Structure 1
Amino acid sequence: MMEARTRYIGGAIKHARAKGTGALELRPEVQVSAHGKTQRSMKKTVWVSDGCRSWYQSADGRIDTLWPGTTVSYWWQTKRFKPGDYRVTEEETASGTV
């Protein structure tokens, strides 16, 4: 999973450099959608469905730190950087202006 994550970040850096962007910010609607899907999938795992309690869980029982799928599904999710999921800002000059 680390290799997949690194490849995705590398794609983000390559995209930002090619476009001259100063920053990439995940669109809120993309984050909300992805988090919802992850939480729905997490409910089907042993970490949540069997009443298991662990240090992965927040006080209300939610788990935000684990991937609920397989390594292969994570690989597919992160196969390519998705520029449309991000807002971009122009790169700032040393004087702070665009």
Structure 2
Amino acid sequence: MMLGPNTELGHNSMVFMIEAQARYIVGAIKHAHVRRTGALELRPEVQASAYGQTQRSMRKAVWVSGGCRSWYRSADGRIDTLWPGTTVSYWWQSKRFKPGDYRVTEEETASGTV
């Protein structure tokens, strides 16, 4: 999913975020093609760690720390829409596909077997 949770911006162009995501996806597709994998599934612990780090970073952002009351905040105070850092920090985190963050399945042959 492109432009998913915590990727919207309140301070820069979304095109930059889309381009960073597209590069990451191309890296994933190339990795899967070369290794002939069927699917890549993000490991739950990687997702939980990244989400936790994003929420910790968000606490320092004006949307939370500045007392801002906006539609960005959920009833429990979380913000799952905006990216809390700079576009450069997003680019750096998404610069290269990280195969170790994923579980892979074997590619099925035309007969449906591995």
Query: How high is the TM-score relative to the length of structure 2?
Result: 0.80
Name the structure 2 match of 1:53.
Answer: 69
Aligned residue among 67, 71, 85 for 2:83: 67
Structure 1 residues 18 and 61: CA distance shift in structure 2, 3 A: same
* Aligned CA-pair RMSD: 1.2
Q: Which residue of 2 aligns with 1:4?
A: 20
Matched, 1:19 2:28: no
Compute the displacement of 1:95 (Å). 3.9
Residues of 2 paired with 1:8 and 1:59: CA distance? 32
- Aligned partner of 1:29 in structure 2 is 45
Give the share of equivalent positions with the same residue, in percent.
84
Q: State the 1:57 CA deviation.
A: 2.0
Deviation at 1:53, TM superposition (A): 2.1
How many equivalent residue pairs?
A: 98
Could you tell which deviates more after superposition, 43-52 or 81-90? 43-52
C-alpha separation in 2, matches of 1:6 and 1:65: 19
Counterpart position of 1:41 = 57
Measured in 2, the distance between the counterparts of 1:74 and 1:16 equals: 23
- For 2:104, what is the secondary structure of its paired residue? strand
Give the match for residue 95 of structure 2: 79
Shift of 1:92: 1.8
- C-alpha change, 1:59 and 1:95, in structure 2 (3 Å) is farther
Gaps of 5+ in 2: 1-16
Q: Which runs of 5+ in 1 are unaligned?
A: none
Instruction: Label 1:93 to 1:57 Cα distance change in 2 as closer, same or farther (>3 A).
Output: farther
